[in-house]
Structure 1
Amino acid sequence: MSQTTVSRLSERTGLETSRPLLDAMANAVYTTDRNGIITYYNPAAATLWGSEPQVGVTRWCGSFRMRNLDGSPLAHEDCPMAVCVKTGKSVDNREILVERLDGLQRRVRISPRPILDDAGQIVGAINTIDDVTEQRQSERDRDASNQLTESILRNSKDCIKLLDLDGTLRSINPCGCSSLELASSDEALGKNYFDFWQPADREAAVAAAHSAQQTGSGRFTADFVSMSGKTTTWDEILSLINDAEGAPTGYLVISRDITAELNEAREKTRQLARQKALTEIGALALAEGSFQTFMDQTAERVAEVLEAPLVKILPFADQADHLWLAAGVGWKPGLVGKAIVGVELESQAGYTLSVNGPVVVPDLHTETRFNGSTLMHDHGVRSGMSVTIAGTTSRPFGVIGIHDTRRREFDEGEIAFLQTVANLIASCHRHHESIKHQTLLVREIAHRSGNMLQVVTSIFSQTARNSDSLAEAKSKFEQRLGQMSKANLLISNNGWTKCGVRDLVAQTLDLFVDQVEISGRDVVLPADLCFDLGLVLHELATNSNKYGAFASDEGRVALRWSVETRDDGQEFVLTWKDSKRQPAAPVPSTGFGAKLIGQLVESKWRGKVTTELDPTFSCRLSLPLTTG
C-alpha cells in the first residue's frame, strides 16, 4: 500500500478503522499526535526498533538512536517525523540509519505525512518506514562488482569482446584496441569480428562460433596480422550469451596473445635440438673415420638444426691465398670440393678471419662491411652468419658459415651453437692431424736418420774448408747445426709435415725479431722445404749480422714472401732486403753460405736465387710449388 493511500485512509476512516490493515503491513508504520507523541505503531515498527515504545508517552520515534547516512548523530527532535509535525509538510523518501538498543543498525527510507482535520489543521502525522538495508547492500555489491568488472576489462591483458550473433562487434576492452592498433573502441565497434582473420583462419573462427551455438563454447588458434604488418598468434574462446528466456543473443570472446608462449616453447625445442646435435657432432669427432666424412656429416647436422638451406666449411688452402669449399649443404652440383672463396675483406669469409668473433648478416642487401663473395651472390644469399675455426697453429683452419635466401635474424643461441660447432671441428682436425703426424714422424725418423748424418757431415766439411781457423770452423758449425736442430724441432713437432712460414721465420730469426719487418700470408709449405728454408734464412741472417742491417741496432730487414702464379704453376717467392750495408763488405757470393743457399734453392728445389748489392744487399728466392 502506497504512502498516499495510507495517509488518505487514515484521514478518511480514522485510525481505529485502519488499524487491522496497518497491523498487517510488512512496512513499519506509526502515528503521532500534533505534539509528536506516538499514538500508534504496528508490529513491523516494533520489530524494526527492537522495542515497544509507550503509546502516549514516547515522542517522535521509537528508535533508540538515529544517525545520518554519514554516521553523524540525528536527534529525535530533528528527525524527519519531527520536521513533518513541526512544519505540516511531508518528507519524501529520506534515508537515515536507525539503531536498536542491542546495537543493531538498519538503513531505512522514511516518508512522514501530516494528518489533517476537516478544517485542514494538522492533528498528527503518519510515517511509513521501508527497511532498505539489504537493497542498498545489494546495490553496493553490484556497484563494486561492476567496478571490479570494469577494472578487469580495463586492465586485462586479454582481449575481451562482445559480439552479436552475426559477429558484429558491440564492445571491446582497451587491450583489444591496442591489439588491433586502434586509438579507441569507437574505431572497432560495428565491424565484423570474423573479418579480422585471414581466409583460412576465418573459417576456423566461424566454426568456433557454430560450436558455441551447439555446445555453449568454441575455440580456435589463429595468426592475426595488424595494420602495421605485425603478426601475433591468438587463442580465441567464444562463449554463447543467452537472454533471460534462454535465447542466444551473441558471443563473449576472450582472446589471449600466446605469441610469447609459443616462441618460448619453440625456443626450448630448438635448444634441445641444438644440444642433441652438439652431442652427435661430438661423438662423430671421436669416432673412427676420415676427417672429410666428419665435415660432411657435421654440415648436414648444422643445416638441419639451424634450418639453413646453405652451409659451408671453408678450410685455408696451403698457400693461404684462398679458402676452398671442403664440405657443405645446398650448393650447386660440383661446387663442394672445388669452389674457392677469397680471403679478401670483400667476402664474408675473409672479413670473418679478420675479426675476433662471429659475423652476423641479417640482410646482405644492406650490408656495408663487405659485398659478399660470388659464391653467395650466385646462390641468392640474403642473410647468414659465420665464425672462424681455430687451427693447429697460429693460423686458423678456416671458416664455417650458414646462409639463407631470405632476410633472417639470428639469436644468441644460434650464434653460440655455430661457435661450438667450429670448436668441435677444430678439435677433430687437431685429433686427425695428431694421428697423421705421429705416423709420418715414425716413418720420417727412419728415413731421415741416415740422410741427416750425411747433411751434417757435408756441412762440417764445407765449413772446415771455408774457415781460417779451427775456432772459426767450430763456431760456424755450431751455429749451422743449431739452426738445423731448430728447423728439425719445429717440423717434427707437427709430425714432420707441413708447417707455416710465419712460425719458421719467428723461430729462425728470434734473436733479431725487433729488427725484422715481415709481410706475407701464413703460407704452409712441405716439411722438407721448410727445413731447407730454415737453413737459408739462417745464412741470410748470418750475413746480415756480419755485413748488413743486423750489424747495428738501427738496421732493419724487410722480409717479404708470397705465392705467385705462373703459366707452369705456382711458386713461392721470398725477398730479403737489408736497410744498410757495412763499408768494405765482401761480395757475398763466394762464401760457403752463398754456396749452401745456391745448392738448396737451385740444385735441390730447382728454384732461382737473385742477389743485388747496390745500394744494399737484397736476395730474392723463387721456389716452385708442387700441387697436392
Structure 2
Amino acid sequence: MPEFDTRSSKTERMLTAEVEDLNHIHDLSLRLAGANSLVDVLLDVLQTAATLVNARLGTTQIVEPNGMLSMVGQFGFGSDVLEKFASVGLEDCSTCAVALKRRARTIVPDLHTDPDFSEIAAALFSYGAVGAVSTPVLDKAGNVLAMFSVYWLEAHEPDDRELRALDLCAELAGRHVERSFAAKALLEQNERNVLLMRELAHRGKNLLAIIQAIAGQSLRGNRSLDEAREAFVGRLGALAHTYNTLTDKSPESLQLHDIMAASLKFQSERTTIRGPDILVPAKNAQTLALMIHELATNATKYGALSNASGRVEIEWKIHRTGSDEQFLLTWSEIDGPPSKVPDDLGFGSVILTSVVGSELKCKPTLGYQENGFQYNLDCSLSALTNSSQTSR
C-alpha cells in the first residue's frame, strides 16, 4: 500500500507540474498577442521557457537573410554577451549553430565533457554555463526563423516534461514570428507600391513634357509635314520601346545593354553592342533611348547604315580618374560614306548634345570624319546611375 501511495503521489505531482506548464504557456500566448515588437516576443518566449525548465541563463537569436543567427536578447549573461556572440553561422561549434544546421533541437547535458562543444564551453566558462539546449523556432515549412537557448549552471538532462514545454514555447513563438515576418513583408510591399505610384505619376509628367518638346521641335523649321511626322513618330517610338522594356523588366531601372538592344532591334544584324552591366534609372534610360534613336536614324539616312556594307559599333567602359569613376560610351560608324557636318543642325543634334549633356552633366562630342561618324559620351558614372539625379 505505501508503494502505491508513493506512485500515486508522484503521478499527482507530474500532473500538477503539467497543468502549471500549460498555465504558463497560456499566459505567454496572451502576452504575445499584445507584444510591441518581434524582439519582445522572443525575449518573453525565452524567459518563459527558462522558467518552465528552471534554467538560469538564456539567449535568443533571429535568422538574418544571409542565414546567420543574430543575437537579439539574453538573460542572466549580462549585456556583453550580445556583442561577444553577435553573429553565429553554420560553421560555428555552438549548440545553436548545430540546431540551425539540423533544424532540430540540440541537447548537450554537459558542455565541459562533450568534445564537440569544447570551444563554446570555454567561451561560456566565465558565465558558469554547463548544461545547454538550443531549440529552433520553425515556420510551417520547417525553415528556421529564430532560436532560443537555455543553460543550466550544472550538468542537466531535460526530462520529457521539460522537452514538451520547450516544444510548446517554440511552436507558439513560430506562429508569432511567422506572422511578424508576413506583416513586415506586407508593409514593405505597400510602401513599395506607394513609391511606384508616385514614380508613375512623376514619370507621366516627364513623358508629357518630353512629348511636347519633341512635337514642338519636330514640327519646327522647313520640313514638310511628312518629314515632320516621320521624325515625331520615330522619336515617340524610341520612348515607347524604353517604356515597354521598363514595364517588362523593372519599372525603376534598366540594364544599359537592354536599352541599346531595344532601341536598335531593327538594326541588330549590323550593330555590335559591347560593355559591362550597368543599371540605369528610368529617367536616364529615356534620355539614352532618344540619343540612340537619333544616332540610328542619322546612320540609316546618311551614315554607315545607309549602304549595304556599313555597320555600327557601340562600346562603353568604366575608367577611373582620380577618385571618380567615369563612364565612356562610343558610337562608331564603319564602312559607311564619309561623314560631314550637316548644313542644318536640327533637333536631333540638340538631343545628342544639349539634352544628353544637361541630363548627364557632361559635353558629348560629335566627330564628322572621313572614315565615318563617331559620337562620344564621357560622363561621371554616378550621374548615369544615381537615381537621385531624377528630380522629384
Cα distance in 2 between the residues matched to 1:289 and 1:595: 39
Cross-structure match for 1:362:
109
Once the two structures are TM-superposed, the CA of residue 410 in structure 1 deviates from its matched residue by 1.7
The counterpart of 2:153, out of the listed 405, 408, 416, is 405
* Aligned residue pairs, count: 261
Q: Percent identity?
A: 11
Cross-structure match for 1:120:
none
Cross-structure match for 1:587:
274
* 8 Å contact kept, 1:348–1:372: no
Cα distance in 1 between the residues matched to 2:61 and 2:201: 41
Cross-structure match for 1:481:
247
* 8 Å contact kept, 1:348–1:370: yes
Alignment of 1:205-244 (within 5 A): none
Matched letter for residue 250 of structure 2: M
Which structure carries more relative contact order (alpha carbon 8 Å, separation 6+)? Answer: 2
Matched letter for residue 155 of structure 2: R
* 8 Å contact kept, 2:103–2:142: no
Matched letter for residue 344 of structure 1: L
* 8 Å contact kept, 1:341–1:375: no
What secondary structure is seen at the aligned counterpart in 1 of 2:147? strand
Alignment of 1:254-273 (within 5 A): 256=3, 263-273=10-20
Matched letter for residue 100 of structure 2: L
What secondary structure is seen at the aligned counterpart in 2 of 1:308? coil
CA displacement, residues 513-555 of structure 1 (integer Å, 9 cap, x when unaligned): xxxxxxxxxxxxxxxxxxx7xx67xx49979x99xxxxxxxxx
CA RMSD of aligned residues (A): 5.1
Cα distance in 2 between the residues matched to 1:292 and 1:273: 25
* Unmatched 5+ stretches in structure 2: 211-233, 263-270, 286-317, 328-392
Cα distance in 2 between the residues matched to 1:341 and 1:260: 47
Alignment of 1:518-557 (within 5 A): 539=255
Once the two structures are TM-superposed, the CA of residue 386 in structure 1 deviates from its matched residue by 1.6
Once the two structures are TM-superposed, the CA of residue 426 in structure 1 deviates from its matched residue by 2.6
Cα distance in 1 between the residues matched to 2:84 and 2:183: 26
Alignment of 1:152-231 (within 5 A): none
The counterpart of 2:73, out of the listed 327, 336, 342, is 327
Cα distance in 2 between the residues matched to 1:607 and 1:459: 31
What secondary structure is seen at the aligned counterpart in 1 of 2:124? helix
* Unmatched 5+ stretches in structure 1: 1-157, 159-234, 236-255, 462-467, 486-531, 547-583, 611-628
Q: Does 1:384 align with 2:150?
A: no
Cα distance in 2 between the residues matched to 1:475 and 1:288: 50
The counterpart of 1:428, out of the listed 176, 182, 189, is 176
* 8 Å contact kept, 2:256–2:279: no
Cα distance in 2 between the residues matched to 1:377 and 1:608: 51
Cα distance in 1 between the residues matched to 2:246 and 2:119: 48
Cα distance in 2 between the residues matched to 1:317 and 1:609: 35
The counterpart of 1:298, out of the listed 41, 45, 62, is 45
Cα distance in 2 between the residues matched to 1:284 and 1:541: 54
More helix by share: 2
Q: Cα distance 1:273–1:293, how it changes in 2: closer, same or farther (>3 A)?
A: same
Cα distance in 1 between the residues matched to 2:141 and 2:10: 42
Once the two structures are TM-superposed, the CA of residue 435 in structure 1 deviates from its matched residue by 4.9
Could you say which structure has the larger radius of gyration?
1
* 8 Å contact kept, 1:270–1:305: no
Once the two structures are TM-superposed, the CA of residue 281 in structure 1 deviates from its matched residue by 1.3
* 8 Å contact kept, 2:69–2:146: no
Cα distance in 1 between the residues matched to 2:249 and 2:141: 21
Q: Does 1:315 align with 2:2?
A: no
Alignment of 1:3-18 (within 5 A): none
Once the two structures are TM-superposed, the CA of residue 352 in structure 1 deviates from its matched residue by 1.0
Once the two structures are TM-superposed, the CA of residue 353 in structure 1 deviates from its matched residue by 1.0
Superposition TM-score, scaled by structure 2 size: 0.51
Cα distance in 2 between the residues matched to 1:607 and 1:283: 57
What secondary structure is seen at the aligned counterpart in 2 of 1:596? strand
Once the two structures are TM-superposed, the CA of residue 588 in structure 1 deviates from its matched residue by 1.8
* 8 Å contact kept, 1:391–1:430: yes
The counterpart of 1:349, out of the listed 88, 96, 99, is 96
Matched letter for residue 76 of structure 2: G
Once the two structures are TM-superposed, the CA of residue 292 in structure 1 deviates from its matched residue by 3.4
Cross-structure match for 1:122:
none
The counterpart of 1:596, out of the listed 260, 271, 280, is 280
Once the two structures are TM-superposed, the CA of residue 424 in structure 1 deviates from its matched residue by 1.7
Cα distance in 2 between the residues matched to 1:272 and 1:609: 71
CA displacement, residues 1-45 of structure 1 (integer Å, 9 cap, x when unaligned): xxxxxxxxxxxxxxxxxxxxxxxxxxxxxxxxxxxxxxxxxxxxx
Cα distance in 1 between the residues matched to 2:111 and 2:43: 26
Once the two structures are TM-superposed, the CA of residue 314 in structure 1 deviates from its matched residue by 0.9
What secondary structure is seen at the aligned counterpart in 2 of 1:289? coil
Matched letter for residue 329 of structure 1: F
Cα distance in 1 between the residues matched to 2:38 and 2:84: 17
Q: Cα distance 1:437–1:321, how it changes in 2: closer, same or farther (>3 A)?
A: closer
Cα distance in 2 between the residues matched to 1:417 and 1:387: 11
Once the two structures are TM-superposed, the CA of residue 474 in structure 1 deviates from its matched residue by 5.8
What secondary structure is seen at the aligned counterpart in 1 of 2:250? helix
Alignment of 1:392-471 (within 5 A): 396-435=144-183, 445-454=193-202
Alignment of 1:277-296 (within 5 A): 277-287=24-34, 289-296=36-43
